Structure 1
């Protein structure tokens, strides 16, 4: 596999491409992210008259627009450590994690439009599953429309932060150190998948989100390298997360902004559910669609 368009994003990382810098950067970034997030949640908890521990429990137990918003917007604290570490530890400017802004914007709009069209086509074509959907009891249609801009921004921050870490920082630094895509595509995707392991939420089927995230990570790594932009991965991730977070979500998992609820809990969702196959197929179809848009 050869990715000539990826070279401008790799070149700035070559000057300081020692592997220890990447390891220290990831560890330091994780610590800063957790500390800043806990501090933010403690401030919010104080406004609610709760302890930080009580408020974190509330975020997982009570699914509402406000708790979902807090959870998704907290991902902004994942971005700042990346910029800090890129500037100080890797000795490269933070903006070198991106292509020129006009190119990033052009690719983001093109990929987002194409994937939304694909998703709409899949929804309109048989077999139809509308009978499975139930209205979100905490969110009527009018309120959903009013909150939609906030929801879209929240999802963009969450997905953008994750892509910045895994496909922006980690992937480009590894690509500067190792020539083989099998290294710089697989390692970030494997870590990305592992971080989706959550048996407390998904029960006995917890391995499936891990495998899904690994496959998604590989596809996202490929489109970022093919396009030479981080925007391709962000748009891919953004549209993929819109369905469960904004359209039809699982009742007990980050569905505060979702207009509809699916008739399964998070554990039931992964027990012999045919929608699992649909999720994997949508990722692959989206990847192919992006390649058509990029023509690469």
Structure 2
């Protein structure tokens, strides 16, 4: 059985070298848009207000700039990468944005919004259950002025960040690896592992240990399965946006990649339990619901 989503690449200029060039250009686009942040930090080092030996530590960087400014600069590379990817798809691959997104005639935004609100609802429900059971683990962190700025930044920039990751991993790379390897399991596994490994520099790894990498790779695997079974990235777009938006707006902590002016602050000791519960219980539940709603079948053929 063919996979209509992976086969979308055959409608474009699908030479493997085009994909190699495309990834290089996306990285360059991201690096170019990271220059403002680097210049700000360089200026602080010159002024003597920043320690050059510590600027690789993301937790230290949060002490140099307020959280909203930091978030803005952190998101800029994703904006640059997204603009670059769009140009690459149009100019190098001669491919439509729709065919990079889905095997359907047009992008199914109902799928995006269903996935977004379904995962957001689960996340909010679990947070408030945890808050009722152990209220001492979180504190009220709400600052109206800071939060309003955070909200505006988040609803604009975080969907760009999450969409860029989905378009690169579940769209661009998955289609490219699919046509070059002529398999489904290679793009599924490779994109999942690479997606997970790119989170290696996150401060969560330092706090929770290398076990968190299993969760990151497992999340990549979940999103890849969604894409292949549903033959489009609409569901993964919604899931990823909900996950990161809730993380940014609802609860923050001093040891996470997103340290924001969120409503609550987690002051509990870092633990892998939340991630393990999500991976081994919630992710299968998510796939079960989607499979029933969208009538997925032929799992083996579509994934392997």
Q: TM-score, normalised by structure 1?
A: 0.79
Instruction: Please provide the CA RMSD for this pair.
Output: 3.3
Q: Which runs of 5+ in 1 are unaligned?
A: none
Within the candidate set 103, 108, 113, 1:109 is matched to: 113
Q: Assess if the C-alpha contact under 8 Å between 1:9 and 1:97 holds in 2.
A: no
Q: Determine the structure 1 residue equivalent to 2:214.
A: 211
Residue correspondence of structure 1 range 1-296 to structure 2 within 5 A: 6-8=3-5, 10-13=7-10, 16-34=13-31, 36-41=32-37, 45=40, 50=44, 57=55, 59-62=61-64, 64-99=67-102, 103-125=107-129, 128-136=133-141, 139-141=142-144, 143-144=146-147, 147-198=150-201, 202-203=205-206, 205-253=208-256, 254-264=258-268, 269-270=270-271, 273-280=272-279, 281-296=281-296
Cα gap change, 1:60 to 1:283, in 2 (>3 Å): farther
Cα gap change, 1:243 to 1:8, in 2 (>3 Å): closer
In the aligned structure 2, how far is the partner of 1:242 from the partner of 1:67?
Answer: 16
In the aligned structure 1, how far is the partner of 2:176 from the partner of 2:109?
Answer: 23
Q: Assess if the C-alpha contact under 8 Å between 1:111 and 1:293 holds in 2.
A: no
Could you give the per-residue CA deviations for residues 207-241 of structure 1, whole angstroms, max 9, x where no partner exists? 23322121111111121222233221111111222
3-state secondary structure, aligned to 1:74: helix
Could you give the per-residue CA deviations for residues 229-259 of structure 1, whole angstroms, max 9, x where no partner exists? 3221111111222332211122243221421
3-state secondary structure, aligned to 2:165: helix
Give the aligned length: 283
Q: Which runs of 5+ in 2 are unaligned?
A: 297-304
Could you give the per-residue CA deviations for residues 42-68 of structure 1, whole angstroms, max 9, x where no partner exists? 57x39x964699699474444512212
Cα gap change, 1:74 to 1:29, in 2 (>3 Å): closer
Q: TM-score, normalised by structure 2?
A: 0.78
Cα gap change, 1:248 to 1:108, in 2 (>3 Å): same
In the aligned structure 2, how far is the partner of 1:237 from the partner of 1:16?
Answer: 28
